[in-house]
């Protein structure tokens, strides 16, 4: 990898991730570069979502979760001593697989994070800005008081993106953000991601390899190791998307990409 | 491997169509059974609504005639007196329900937060849940005995607060269980979203879980209030009855026996005087109307806003 230290927003060394006795992920080193989209691909159960959720300590909410390694965010280990996971999530935002707006108005949804942090400036301005950033403003500007749940699935997901970017986090973690959307809505969200990387750094888990080739600058391929009756995911290779898809170093990657995995 | 024998369009051209089966209604065993069971369910549903409708009909015909402004403003009449009303009992019922609600609602909702969010799998939660479920089946007279021992004996007098405590004991489990259920219905992905934005536990509960669950919690609260308003037995030991206003001549008689609609109905219905019997009917009608209004209110407030 050619990424110099300056452009690394996150440097994640995931030695071991456990849920209770079950080792979900091992020995994976994932650097995430600034203003790029890093795509995580791999078969089901390979731990790519686990990796993503470990980056902003969402996994702390899971009982018996244990993490060995470090996740450096702008030089600080988010698993370091005295680090508050609540603050980590403020800077490393998340967009989920299922659109999950709160049952409040569109405006309140976007303003949620700002109010959480007692934002002092013009709330309306920031909400508008975030909705514009999520390419939703034109569709909802006349109905900001309407419930966020009244929108279509694709609009809900863009609302969730607007909600996530309203507080201007450094990194956006997106966990299969399009898997619940139809192709047209997917295309819009993909275009949006490419637009968003100008201002944010994005880590994207996707099931869809075409999506990775369309939007990801860097791709990390994970696979799953079925040994001793356990399933442990690990990073097989990572590099510029074009290289991973067209000139992959590992046979495993080539097999997966060409659909020949056993 | 033999392929499924699908009528390929090319083959379908050559094979003749099968004879059309009859699609008419047929009188046969299972159809008859279906008709029978459907009518049985229909009749049962009708029977289930008979008590409420007949009670309402009786109360309106027998209590409706006596319903006028006087009954709301006057004190209960003595033996052979004519006129009078149950103003003090109405006030007493309101006061005691409010005291009960003021205890049961905050405690109940806080307990539900613990059960649903903070320690759903803890031993304490299992114990509290079991206690609440048992308490819903508690004969209401025992709630009165409890408040008698706790409040009446320690303060040395029957009083509205004692009645309020007894009602609180009855309301508490309803509030706890419905509020817990309501909070559990809040989708996990919604809570994840809040955590993912950097909310603390408290913020997730206060800003997402409670507001989202609020309509359903209100329904439970209203049901608890409606139940408490109609209770007689727990008040017999605790508030007793009084022929006077709880506020008399500018003086609040908080620590003295207090009248309630339910106990007034109980007392007057056994009296040999027509006037008192009529008042008991009218009071019953008012009590049912209160319960009805509270239930309707719970439907209105129970509608999700978003």
Phi/psi at A150 (5° precision)? -85, -10
Distance CA A72, CA B244 (A): 74
pLDDT in tens, A204-251: 999 888 899 999 999 999 998 887 777 889 999 999 999 999 988 888
Asked whether A203 and A38 are in contact (CB, 8 A), the reply is yes
pLDDT band of residue B152 (cuts 50, 70, 90) is very high
Question: Structure pTM?
Answer: 0.81
Dihedral-angle region of residue A176 (phi above 0 means left; psi in -120 to 50 means alpha; beta otherwise):
left
- Does the beta carbon of A149 lie under 8 angstroms from any beta carbon of chain B? yes
Closest partner residue to A103 among B197, B199, B304, by Cβ? B304
Cβ neighbours of B306 in A, within 8 Å: 103-105, 147-150
Average pLDDT over residues B94-107: 96
Q: According to the model, what pLDDT value does residue B1 have?
A: 46
Separation of alpha carbons A8 and B16, rounded Å: 72
Of B198, B200, B208, which has the smallest distance from its Cβ to A102's Cβ?
B208
Please write down the HEC assignment for all residues of B126-187. HHHHHHHHHHHCCCHHHHHHHHHHHHHHHHCCCCHHHHHHHHHHHHHHHHHHHHHHHHHCCC
Q: Is the dihedral angle over the CA atoms B3, B7, B8, B14 positive or is it negative? A: positive
The residue ranges of every structural domain in chain B are: 94-301
ipTM exceeding the 0.95 mark: no
- Smallest CA–CA distance, residue A252 to chain B, in Å, is 33
Considering only CB atoms, B306 lies closest to which of A93, A112, A149, namely A149
Q: Suggest the residue from A94, A102, A110, A113 to mutate for an interface test with chain B (most B CBs closer than 10 A).
A: A102
**Surface of A (224-243) touching B: CB under 8 A:** none
Measure the CA–CA gap between A239 and A256, rounded to whole angstroms: 16
Judge contact between A192 and A222, C-beta under 8 A. no
B138: distance to nearest CA of chain A, Å?
Answer: 36
Alpha-carbon distance A235 to A54, whole Å?
Answer: 15
- What average pLDDT does chain A have? 89
| Residues contacting residue B305 through CB under 8 Å, at least 6 positions apart | A103, B215
**B212 with A90: Cβ contact below 8 A:** no
Cα distances from B189 to residues A101, A202, B58, B256, in angstroms, run 9, 21, 51, 52
Q: Is A177 on the interface with B (CB under 8 A)?
A: no
pLDDT band of A2, cuts 50, 70, 90: very low
Rounded to a whole number of angstroms, the distance from the CA of A25 to the nearest CA of chain B is: 21
Nearest CB to B190; choose among A100, A105, A164? A100
Distance from CA of B179 to the nearest CA of A (A): 18
DSSP string, B5-73: ----HHHHTTSPPPPPPP-S----HHHHHHHHHHHHHHHHHHHHHHHHHHHHHHHHHHHGGG-SHHHHH
Summarize pLDDT for A153-194 with one digit per residue, the tens.
Answer: 889 999 999 999 999 999 999 999 998 888 888 898 899 899
Domains of chain A: 5-100+172-257 (3.40.50.300)
Question: Six-digit token pair at B298?
Answer: 């719970």
Q: Is the dihedral of CA B121, B124, B127, B133 positive or negative?
A: negative
CA of A99 vs chain B CAs: smallest distance (Å)? 8
Is residue A245 classed as helix, strand or coil in its secondary structure?
Answer: helix
Cα separations in angstroms, B248 against A122, A206, B263: 54, 74, 20
Instruction: Look at residues B97, B108, B112 and name the one whose alpha carbon lies nearest to residue B293.
Output: B97
Task: Reply yes or no on whether the pLDDT at B186 is more than 60.
Answer: yes
| Domain spanning B94-301: CATH 1.10.10.10 | no
What pLDDT score was predicted for residue B30?
86
pLDDT tens, residue by residue, A79-122 = 999 999 999 999 999 999 999 999 999 999 999 999 988 888 89
Nearest-CA distance A169 → chain B (Å): 9
pLDDT tens for residues B221-249?
998 999 899 899 999 989 999 888 888 77
Q: HSE on the CB side for A255, CA within 13 Å?
A: 10
> How high does pLDDT run on average in chain B?
89
Q: Nearest Cβ partner of B197 from A103, A149, A164?
A: A164
Q: Does A86 touch chain B (CB under 8 A)?
A: yes
B52 — pLDDT class (breaks 50, 70, 90): confident
Say whether pLDDT at A5 is over 60: no
Q: Is the pLDDT of residue B14 over 80?
A: no
The distance of Cα B73 from the centroid of its chain, to the nearest Å, equals: 28
> Kind and range of the H or E element at B234?
helix B233-236
Helix (H, G, I), strand (E, B) or coil at A177: coil
User: According to the 3-state scheme, what is the secondary structure of B266-277?
Assistant: HHHHCCCCHHHH
Pairing of strands A8-19, A218-227: unpaired
- Chain centroid to Cα A106, Å, comes to 22
Q: Are strands A37-41 and A201-205 parallel, antiparallel or unpaired?
A: parallel
The pair of three-digit structure tokens given for residue A227, joined into one six-digit string:
């040994």
pLDDT band at A262 (very low <50, low <70, confident <90, very high): very low
Q: Report the C-alpha gap between B217 and B251 in whole angstroms.
A: 37
What digits encode the pLDDT tens for the residues A51-83?
999 999 999 988 889 999 999 999 899 999 999
Q: Which residues of B touch A149 (CB under 8 A)?
A: 306
Please answer yes or no on whether A96 and B192 come within 8 Å at the CB atom. yes
Whether B159 and chain A come into contact, CB under 8 Å, resolves to: no
User: Residues 191 to 210 of B: which have CB under 8 A from any A CB?
Assistant: 192-200, 203, 207-208
């Amino acid at each position: 990898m050619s990424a110099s230290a300056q452009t690394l927003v996150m440097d994640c060394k995931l030695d071991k991730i456990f849920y209770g006795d079950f080792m979900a992920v091992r020995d994976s080193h994932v650097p995430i570069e600034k203003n790029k989209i890093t795509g995580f691909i791999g078969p089901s159960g390979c731990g790519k979502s686990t990796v993503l959720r470990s980056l902003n300590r969402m996994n702390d909410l899971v009982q018996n979760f244990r993490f060995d390694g470090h996740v450096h965010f702008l030089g600080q280990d988010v698993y370091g001593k005295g680090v508050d996971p609540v603050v980590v999530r403020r800077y490393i935002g998340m967009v989920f697989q299922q659109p999950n707006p709160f049952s409040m108005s569109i405006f309140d949804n976007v303003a949620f994070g700002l109010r959480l942090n007692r934002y002092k400036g013009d709330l309306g301005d920031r909400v508008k800005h975030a909705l514009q950033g999520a390419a939703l403003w034109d569709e909802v500007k006349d109905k900001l008081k309407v419930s966020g749940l009244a929108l279509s699935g694709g609009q809900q997901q863009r609302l969730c993106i607007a909600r996530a970017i309203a507080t201007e986090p450094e990194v956006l973690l997106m966990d299969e953000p399009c898997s619940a959307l139809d192709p047209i809505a997917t295309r819009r969200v993909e275009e949006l991601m490419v637009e968003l990387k100008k201002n944010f750094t994005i880590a994207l888990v996707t099931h869809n390899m075409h999506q990775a080739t369309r939007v990801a600058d860097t791709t990390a391929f994970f696979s799953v190791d079925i040994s001793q009756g356990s399933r442990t995911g690990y990073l097989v290779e990572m590099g510029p998307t074009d290289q991973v898809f067209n000139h992959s170093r590992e046979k495993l990657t080539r097999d997966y990409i060409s659909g020949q995995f056993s | 491997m033999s392929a499924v024998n699908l009528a390929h369009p090319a083959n379908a051209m050559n094979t003749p169509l099968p004879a059309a089966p009859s699609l008419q209604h047929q009188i046969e065993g299972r159809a008859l059974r279906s008709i029978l069971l459907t009518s049985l369910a229909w009749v049962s549903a009708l029977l289930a609504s008979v008590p409420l409708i007949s009670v309402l009909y009786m109360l309106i015909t027998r209590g409706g005639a006596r319903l006028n402004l006087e009954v709301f403003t006057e004190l209960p009449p003595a033996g052979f007196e004519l006129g009078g009303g149950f103003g003090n009992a109405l006030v007493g019922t309101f006061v005691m329900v409010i005291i009960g609600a003021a205890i049961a609602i905050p405690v109940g909702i806080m307990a539900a937060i613990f059960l649903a969010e903070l320690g759903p799998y803890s031993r304490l939660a299992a114990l509290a849940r079991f206690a609440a479920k048992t308490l819903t089946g508690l004969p209401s007279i025992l709630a009165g005995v409890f408040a008698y021992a706790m409040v009446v004996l320690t303060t040395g007098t029957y009083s509205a607060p004692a009645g309020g405590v007894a009602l609180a004991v009855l309301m508490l489990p309803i509030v706890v269980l419905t509020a817990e259920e309501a909070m559990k219905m809040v989708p996990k992905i919604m809570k994840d979203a809040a955590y993912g934005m950097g909310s603390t536990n408290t913020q997730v509960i206060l800003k997402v879980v409670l507001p989202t669950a609020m309509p359903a919690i209100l329904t439970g609260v209203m049901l608890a209030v409606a139940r408490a308003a109609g209770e007689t037995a727990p008040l017999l030991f605790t508030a007793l009855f009084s022929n006077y206003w709880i506020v008399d001549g500018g003086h609040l008689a908080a620590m003295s026996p207090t009248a309630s609609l339910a106990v007034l109905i109980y007392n007057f219905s056994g009296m040999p005087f027509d006037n008192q019997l009529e008042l008991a009917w009218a009071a019953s009608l008012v009590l049912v109307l209160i319960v009805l209004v509270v239930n309707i209110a719970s439907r209105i407030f129970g509608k999700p806003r978003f």
